[in-house]
Structure 1
Amino acid sequence: MSGATHAAAPGPRLYDRTTELAAVARLSAGAGTGTGGVLFVTGDPGEGRTALLARAAHDFPGTALCVAAPPHRGPWSGVRSLCAALAPHPPAGRRALRLARGEAGLAAAVGSLTAGRPALICLDDLHLWDAHSRAALTTAWREPGSRWGGTVWLVSAARHHRLPDVPDAEAVRLGRLTRDGARALLGDLCAVPPSAGLVERLLDETAGHPGVLAAAVRRLASAPVTGTAVPSRPLVDGAVLAEVYGGLVDSLPADSRRLLAVVALTGRTEATDPPHPPGRSEADTPVPKSPGRTHVDTPAPEPPGYSEAPDHAGSLNRSEAAEPPHPADLPQGTAAPVGSPRPREPERAGAGRSSQAYEVGLGAVLATARATRTSVEPLDGLIAGGLLCRTGDALRFEDPFLGRAALASAPSGIAPVPPPVPASDPTLVRGEGHRADRLGPPPAVRALTPVVRGRAQLVRGLAALAGGPVMDAHEALLQAAELLGDREPAEASDARFLAMEAAWAGGDVAACLAALDPGKAARGTERDFVVGLRAALDIRLDQARSVLARVVARDGVEDDPRLLLRAGSAALVLGDTASAARIHARALVRARAEHRSALVPRVLEHLAYAELRAGRYSRAARTAHEGLRAAEQTGQHNVAAHQHAVLALVASVAGDGRTVTEHAGRALDTARPHGLVQAATLAEWALARAEFGHGLAAQATARLLPLVRQGPRSGHFALRMLVIPCFVEAAVVSGRRAEAREAAEEYAIWAVQGIDGTAPAQLARCRALLAPGEEPAYWFGEAVRRHDSCGNDFERARTLLAYGTWLRRRRRPGDARGPLSDALVTFERAAAEGWAEHARSELRATGGTTGGVTDPAALGRLTPQQQRIARLVAGGATNREVADRLTLSPRTVDHHLRSVFARLGIRSRVELPGVVGRWDARPSG
């Protein structure tokens, strides 16, 4: 591209670029409003970056210019080309260059040349610009939008290039064509339509790559085939790939080019060109319409998980599927890649036929590198840049065409070495290799850099965290953090956070503290979270409260789901369940918007627990069901166990014993062998609540006792205090008052810390249950008053039920009916049928009505005689008085009254006034 304003010639035709053109339209709108903006476009060679810039310049309503990378990369050469393109006269361009290189900066220089008018500046191939110019551009782009006026920037770069960190920038990544898009592009490239057989061969071998398709067509035009048969030679060979990828390969350092060739040569036995399908024929040789013009490309709206951009590009669409993922986003439970994983692409032309993966064992690559005296130091950079991927102990090219291009450009004298000795070798069978094993890791492992080994440990830790023993995950993640260290501070920080989560799930406070090292690079939310959580675990609550409160307050400016998870966890530690639920819900929205499918189950796990702590049981159940599905789909079995435990607790509220047993059993099946102390504690708590709800107080007490005691068989340290109120209630009923009193005294110390909003109310209930004489009346009243100010209606209803039960047993049935009726209504609203039935039976014992569960319409299903008897009895008449009034015998009245009770679902005549009153209050019609 040359630096000039666009002409009136029609813009290039693009295919399958709906998403990218929409981003360009948003950028252009920013020029009209005067807010400015930056849009990055990344892609592999030949995927159409230049064509997209040309189309954007053509469509822009104001001044638009395109500036290519200067041929010479001397200092300030890029800025010099930009100023020359912007300035109509050379003196103005020289003045602008002096401004750009001086203290005023590039923003002032561009502003002086555009004079605030709307302008689109397209910069092509940013990765080929000189370092001085890139630094000046980055500084200018970080200026507030008001400095730019109506100037917007559209910048293209190779996919492996690290984009600058620009606030509010957007980025799009170009991809391959769908088969229909490739077919349409082929029609534009060929003046004479080729035969159907040749078309299919081209679509198969080019695999939806627009640049490779154009190069293959040009090669056919320059060396036409004869006859009617489709040529047997490959249509996409080394010459075609060198035309498209030669610039990328040549721009790499010599050591990197040599290492790419080693990887390609080592895996050449798995990466041969496939034979074309027999029976193909061609009629005409395609001829390009315009030899100097290449139309590109591309997929229409790409499916979720494919269109994305790097972390550092500001406000982007991001997925774990196409670039080096963040450690927190790596798929768990599988052998996740260390570098960038294979992208989930749309259906491409020729997918699966010509796109060989070039996958080869890492050990074989290292052996070939040693044999050919090739340095493996560039391996980290090639993986981080997305040119190579690592999956377990295998390497492959992220772009198979790059692998073939590297193979075509391999220097002479490089050949693969024999494969490693198989495990069945007699020397290994005899055990002669044990001495070497004792001396340390094999040479292949020692040759790896700390970053590569750290990422390998990170993958092992994530796999264990997803579906293995969590303390094994903790150790692997800590080792990963140490190896990554200052080399990759962001990944090291996430590895430590995940190690802390593993230790938290395992209930190990010391291991949590070992993982909470802020590191030198930690700032803002990450550092405050580490400092605050360390203080909380050390029981320095005053210090923890102030620091963690900053983390929670900062959630409004965070968009990264990883940081939102930290803020939500801080809110849970502080007992702010409302904020925890809100923050985790926001993290869920962000994770889904960015298609981070491996992160979604973990966010749902945190959200379900926050809803459970807040007493919103129906929401917790819905979230847990959704999280369970997501965890099972991604193989995160430990997350699934936690969701089963949450569902068991929700079922214990509803009184569904069978569901409690089912979910608790499934949670414990995973939690016990994997050391998930948190999930096991929740599951045991759910079983105990279900037992207590069914009148098995002694059994519930025995199950809860280990959870509230300290020691090797104790429950989770963060749940221990939450379980104590339930234990005290069950222990008092089962006659174990001494143990209940001991637990309540410890709970009293914790309740005053303000960590749990419901703790003061539940402490008052515990004291009421343990107090002698008439003292419980005061404590029950105090508990109800405190419940009114802290929420959690279910716990308030449990207090009212305990209060009403105490009043009834003190022979005060009239006073007991009010608390019991309120408890019954709350349990019914919460669909806690088991607890509602308990309240209903207590209310009946006081002589109160439980008609709240009787449908008033049932009165209309009585016979006329039964309705008359029911109304008279509801009015206070005795059986004898009803018999005299209706000229019946008392025995007949008694028979009809029993039928009335059965049809209305009530047990005594004292409940009739409520049912009849509601029947009369129903609107007519």
Structure 2
Amino acid sequence: MELAYAAVQQVCGPIVTHLDRLPDPQKNALQVALGLQEGATPDRLLVNLAVLTLLGEAGAERPTLCIIDDAQWVDRASLQALTFAARRLLADPTAMVFATRTPEGPQELKGLPELHLGRLAHTHASALLSDVMPGQWDDTVRETILAEADGNPLALLEFGRAMAPAAWAGGYGLAPAATSVAKRIEGEYGQRLGELPPPTRTLLLLAAAEPTGDPAWLWTAATRLGLDSDAVVPAERSGLITVESRLRFRHPLVRSAVYRHASLPERRQVHAALADAITGPAGEEHRAWHRAHSTSAPDETVAVDLMESAERARRRGGAAAAAAFLAYAVELTPDPVRRAERALEAALSKLDAGDPEGATRLLVAVAGTEDELLSARVDLMKAKIAFAAQRGRDAPPLLLAAAEKLCPLDPTLARETYLDALMAAMIVGRLFADEWSSAAAIASAARRAPPPSGRATAADLLLEGIVVRFTEGHAAAAPVLQQAIGQYLRDDEAGVADPRSHDITLRVLLDLFEQDTYSSLNARQLELLRAAGELTVLPAALTTYAGVCVTSGNFAEAADLLEQSDAISIATGAPPHRSIQTYLAACRGQEALGRELARDTIADATARGEGSEIAVVLFSLAILHNGLGQYDEALTACTSATEYEDVGMYGHVLNEMVEAAVRSGDRSTAEAAAAQVIERAEATRTATALGYAARARALTATGPAAENEYDAAIREFERSPLAVMAARTHLVFGEWLRRENRRADARNELRVAYERFLHMGADGFAERAHRELRAAGETFPKERGNATTVSLTKQESYIARLAGDGYSNSEIASHLFISPRTVEWHLGRIFAKLGVTSRRELRRLRE
């Protein structure tokens, strides 16, 4: 029974007194998740962080051990929260142990330290058998029992209890079994159950059917079935259960045996009794679940209860629980059309819960429907499942087919699906499977999209503009895309922008060289996500804004943002995208790291089918090699990047190509790239575009014309966010002046470039400027060093910066998704490494 955070509720029960010590966002999220208060759907990572902090607080009071047995049966939301905590209780006196029956275990346990418990050795098994079955045994019989148990300690412990002494017949009663030991034990339990009186078996079936073990529910249901408290006595005497504050089975296999050996009518009878016995708002989901299991035929009333329970589960953040309720509602819906509608909703919920296979299975309920719209929506869902399972080559053609099928049935949904198909195709980029699934082919097909039903929305204009962009080119598309951006910004300001358009809008802004709007929109998006606590979608926003910071020369902040993004990605198990890390390494001039990141990122992106990531990496490699003076390699990277016209990156790669080609002596390539840059700049007229165009003209010109263009490029870049490019333009201008034998003028430009590169930490470009300064006659370039963080790890450096800026341990813990005690432990190491004793000294070191 998938109930969200059911296991977290059990874990938190003994330590709930520490709840008030949690930061308010964490406390509120956990209380909503556990149903202790009403509220908006809590962010999953806030709940996870609350569990981590709560366990840390318990450990601070006294050493704490948290054991999660049979982890394969724990609800998914709880298992994610508990494993999140387990990975982060580094310095806390708290230990967590997960036991799972199957060797592979749940996916959430992957990466945790493992201890595989194999079979007992013969000597140890024999010793255990002597303890549980004392007395004289024939050696042959003894060996038969040991062979039957096959080193399974559970079998050795339970065989004696699961069979009456007479049944052993001195050991000869143990017949060879064709089934597993666990099923054999369960079968023996079933035989013992058959010896119990019918009222006792019914009481045990009630207990087996209700997983919470709530004694009030159990005994109320028992009373409704005419059972009294004496019914429990035979089962207790048999050793199958214990009764203290609540009834407990001696082993999960007993419960399984009780439920399996009951007939279907018997199960329905106890579920009906439990449904009638459970009262109050806290039991609504349990009541709906039991009512559903007591129903022998489709029932709309019960299906509606399940739908409502799914919504309650979703509000608490239980996506998997919501999907389970919806899936059962599908089974109990009598009307075929309504059943198909609910199946689609359940499939989407399964997809949200990270279960694409479950989503696919639910679509069977819609198969064969004569409703064309439902059939088209099924195709759309299949395409979304393919996109979610692997954001790769399969999704664009599936989305296109769904869009075309939807055209006569739901024009608005068809247009949305065409835009989704184009977005998917842009993500796939150069890695499209065949010419019919390329972005250009899908754009051509999207020309057949029905017109907007009313006034064109931002999404309508984006669809039109992207179609023109791929079919007629950048210049023709620019006016339409600029209009789309204007409408999107108005919608965003009014708070009605479609969030699905955010990603495609950012690509368009890059394509139009609208760097100011790109930067401000990213900053706004990040601020909104932080304020809302929507941590599950925060990594992408952090990574994108880190790219903005790199472009503006704020490398330290970019590194911090990437650190946060990595922490969240690791917490959720999502694969982090490394392309911006490559971009940062390139601008810093870190050759070995840049090459390694580029190689790994291209391999990962190729495997996932995300060609747009490869475009960013190739652009980054061009910057790296241009900065290090490796112009032939820079030109190779640009040539590879421009083999496919990636929306967003193509124009920026052309800018790098001009410099690489000029310095490699490939004049014709440089002039061709410059012509394209100038054409695109004329279409958009932004500061970035005009700066690129002037720079391209300067690099390919000679004499006074070149000097005028360098001056113009610097003026444009100074009013744009491209701080790194502004410094680089001072550098190439200085290099040109030195080659014109104007050494004094050259030193002026090179000093500006050198000092800016030093301030940013752009080591590769700084070294290039350093060499040029010396060649121009400079004798006193200031060497720099940074001894304060050289011995610190990435995480320690980040903690040191935050601590120096005045953040508390709890605030730092929230940033990095670790416990406050772990932050304290890291600070102790940081102080020792740097030879300081306070946060104030950390701040001074940074200054």
Separation (CA, whole Å) in 1 of partners of 2:657 and 2:554: 22
Report how far residue 671 of structure 1 moved.
3.1
Report how far residue 819 of structure 1 moved.
0.8
Which letter does structure 2 place at the counterpart of 1:473? Answer: A
1:228-276 deviation per Cα after TM superposition (whole angstroms, max 9, x unaligned)? 62769889533332566589979x9999528989xx9xxxxxxxxxxxx
- Match 2:319 to one of 307, 318, 321: 321
Report how far residue 663 of structure 1 moved.
1.3
Separation (CA, whole Å) in 1 of partners of 2:782 and 2:221: 83
Are the equivalent residues in 2 in contact too, given 1:552–1:568 (CA < 8 A)? no
Partner residue in 1 for 2:400: 478
Map residues 59-98 of structure 1 onto 2, 5 A cutoff: none
2:271 pairs with 1:237: yes
Are the equivalent residues in 2 in contact too, given 1:671–1:677 (CA < 8 A)? yes
Which letter does structure 1 place at the counterpart of 2:513? Answer: G
Map residues 552-631 of structure 1 onto 2, 5 A cutoff: 552-558=489-495, 561-565=499-503, 568-569=506-507, 571-588=509-526, 599-604=537-542, 606-608=544-546, 617-627=555-565, 630=568
Report how far residue 661 of structure 1 moved.
0.9
Are the equivalent residues in 2 in contact too, given 1:840–1:850 (CA < 8 A)? no
Separation (CA, whole Å) in 2 of partners of 1:659 and 1:840: 22
Are the equivalent residues in 2 in contact too, given 1:471–1:675 (CA < 8 A)? yes
Separation (CA, whole Å) in 2 of partners of 1:469 and 1:786: 38
Partner residue in 1 for 2:782: 852
Q: Which moved more, 1:516-525 or 1:541-550?
A: 516-525
Report how far residue 380 of structure 1 moved.
2.4
Report how far residue 499 of structure 1 moved.
2.1
Report how far residue 696 of structure 1 moved.
2.0
Report how far residue 201 of structure 1 moved.
10
Decide whether aligned partners of structure 1 residues 518 and 463 sit closer, same or farther in structure 2, where only a CA change above 3 A counts. Answer: same
SS in 1 for 2:228: coil
SS in 2 for 1:471: coil
Map residues 202-213 of structure 1 onto 2, 5 A cutoff: 206-208=210-212
2:625 pairs with 1:691: yes
Partner residue in 1 for 2:481: 544
Decide whether aligned partners of structure 1 residues 650 and 487 sit closer, same or farther in structure 2, where only a CA change above 3 A counts. Answer: same
Report how far residue 571 of structure 1 moved.
4.1
- Match 1:257 to one of 294, 299, 313: 299
Separation (CA, whole Å) in 2 of partners of 1:661 and 1:606: 21
Are the equivalent residues in 2 in contact too, given 1:506–1:676 (CA < 8 A)? yes
Of structures 1 and 2, the larger Rg is shown by: 1
Decide whether aligned partners of structure 1 residues 248 and 449 sit closer, same or farther in structure 2, where only a CA change above 3 A counts. Answer: farther
Are the equivalent residues in 1 in contact too, given 2:526–2:541 (CA < 8 A)? yes
Report how far residue 444 of structure 1 moved.
8.8
Which letter does structure 2 place at the counterpart of 1:526? Answer: A
Separation (CA, whole Å) in 2 of partners of 1:588 and 1:199: 55
Separation (CA, whole Å) in 1 of partners of 2:532 and 2:319: 11
SS in 2 for 1:377: helix
2:159 pairs with 1:226: no
Are the equivalent residues in 1 in contact too, given 2:404–2:414 (CA < 8 A)? yes
Which letter does structure 2 place at the counterpart of 1:553? Answer: R
1:192-243 deviation per Cα after TM superposition (whole angstroms, max 9, x unaligned)? xxxxxx9999887544598x95485264376423266276988953333256
Map residues 393-408 of structure 1 onto 2, 5 A cutoff: none
Report how far residue 551 of structure 1 moved.
0.8
Separation (CA, whole Å) in 2 of partners of 1:41 and 1:694: 52
Which letter does structure 1 place at the counterpart of 2:695? Answer: R
Separation (CA, whole Å) in 2 of partners of 1:596 and 1:450: 37
Which letter does structure 1 place at the counterpart of 2:761? Answer: A
Partner residue in 2 for 1:764: 694
Separation (CA, whole Å) in 1 of partners of 2:403 and 2:443: 14
Map residues 165-204 of structure 1 onto 2, 5 A cutoff: none
1:555-600 deviation per Cα after TM superposition (whole angstroms, max 9, x unaligned)? 1232664355465455445433343344344445555777766644
Instruction: Give the percent of matched residue pairs that are identical in Structure 1 and Structure 2.
Output: 22
Report how far residue 754 of structure 1 moved.
2.2
Report how far residue 845 of structure 1 moved.
1.8
2:724 pairs with 1:721: no
Are the equivalent residues in 2 in contact too, given 1:654–1:833 (CA < 8 A)? yes
Map residues 261-340 of structure 1 onto 2, 5 A cutoff: 321=319, 340=322
Decide whether aligned partners of structure 1 residues 718 and 393 sit closer, same or farther in structure 2, where only a CA change above 3 A counts. Answer: closer
Report how far residue 809 of structure 1 moved.
2.0
Separation (CA, whole Å) in 2 of partners of 1:395 and 1:775: 63
Partner residue in 2 for 1:180: none
TM-score in terms of structure 2 length: 0.52
- Match 2:462 to one of 499, 513, 529: 529
SS in 2 for 1:575: coil
Report how far residue 553 of structure 1 moved.
2.3
Decide whether aligned partners of structure 1 residues 726 and 849 sit closer, same or farther in structure 2, where only a CA change above 3 A counts. Answer: same
Are the equivalent residues in 2 in contact too, given 1:648–1:660 (CA < 8 A)? yes
Are the equivalent residues in 2 in contact too, given 1:575–1:756 (CA < 8 A)? yes
Decide whether aligned partners of structure 1 residues 782 and 590 sit closer, same or farther in structure 2, where only a CA change above 3 A counts. Answer: closer
Partner residue in 1 for 2:767: 837
Which letter does structure 2 place at the counterpart of 1:239? Answer: A
Report how far residue 550 of structure 1 moved.
1.3
Report how far residue 689 of structure 1 moved.
2.6
Partner residue in 2 for 1:184: none
Separation (CA, whole Å) in 1 of partners of 2:377 and 2:652: 38
SS in 2 for 1:786: helix
Decide whether aligned partners of structure 1 residues 201 and 578 sit closer, same or farther in structure 2, where only a CA change above 3 A counts. Answer: farther
Separation (CA, whole Å) in 2 of partners of 1:40 and 1:836: 53
1:67-100 deviation per Cα after TM superposition (whole angstroms, max 9, x unaligned)? xxxxxxxxxxxxxxxxxxxxxxxxxxxxxxxxxx
Are the equivalent residues in 2 in contact too, given 1:518–1:530 (CA < 8 A)? no
Separation (CA, whole Å) in 1 of partners of 2:319 and 2:786: 58
Report how far residue 612 of structure 1 moved.
5.4
Are the equivalent residues in 1 in contact too, given 2:206–2:218 (CA < 8 A)? no
Structure 1's unaligned 5+ residue stretches are 1-15, 27-38, 43-197, 265-297, 299-305, 311-316, 324-339, 344-356, 399-440, 858-925
Decide whether aligned partners of structure 1 residues 655 and 716 sit closer, same or farther in structure 2, where only a CA change above 3 A counts. Answer: same
Decide whether aligned partners of structure 1 residues 632 and 757 sit closer, same or farther in structure 2, where only a CA change above 3 A counts. Answer: farther
Separation (CA, whole Å) in 2 of partners of 1:375 and 1:321: 25
- Match 1:499 to one of 393, 403, 421: 421
State how many pairs are aligned: 534
- Match 2:340 to one of 368, 380, 386: 380
Which letter does structure 2 place at the counterpart of 1:785? Answer: R
Decide whether aligned partners of structure 1 residues 815 and 474 sit closer, same or farther in structure 2, where only a CA change above 3 A counts. Answer: same
2:780 pairs with 1:828: no
Structure with more helix by fraction: 2
Which letter does structure 1 place at the counterpart of 2:486? Answer: A
- Match 2:676 to one of 719, 726, 746: 746
Separation (CA, whole Å) in 1 of partners of 2:539 and 2:384: 14
Partner residue in 1 for 2:173: none
SS in 2 for 1:341: helix
Separation (CA, whole Å) in 2 of partners of 1:703 and 1:678: 15
Are the equivalent residues in 2 in contact too, given 1:558–1:564 (CA < 8 A)? no
Report how far residue 790 of structure 1 moved.
2.0
Report how far residue 653 of structure 1 moved.
0.6
Are the equivalent residues in 2 in contact too, given 1:652–1:689 (CA < 8 A)? yes
Map residues 617-656 of structure 1 onto 2, 5 A cutoff: 617-627=555-565, 630=568, 637=575, 640=576, 643-656=577-590
SS in 2 for 1:229: helix
Separation (CA, whole Å) in 2 of partners of 1:215 and 1:394: 32
Report how far residue 745 of structure 1 moved.
1.6
Report how far residue 528 of structure 1 moved.
4.0
